[in-house]
Amino acid sequence: MTYQYECSEGSCQFLLRSSSSDEVERLVRAHVRMVHNGRIDSTDLKRGTDRIELA
């Protein structure tokens, strides 16, 4: 299974896909901290992460 997260902050175009949900969480948290100078709540992170199937 592949996990996808797309940042919804303003005009940010950050898109991440990984087969590891742990990697998605780690990299999204780093993105929010470094680019948006903030933190993301665990609930918002889970809500924003989709499971997708690649063809």
The residue type found at 6 is E
pTM summary value: 0.89
Does the pLDDT of residue 55 top 80, yes or no? no
Number of structural domains in the chain: 1
| Enclosing domain of residue 32 | 2-52
Residue 8 neighbours by CB under 8 Å, 6+ apart: 48
Each residue's pLDDT tens digit, 24-52: 999 999 999 999 999 999 999 999 999 99
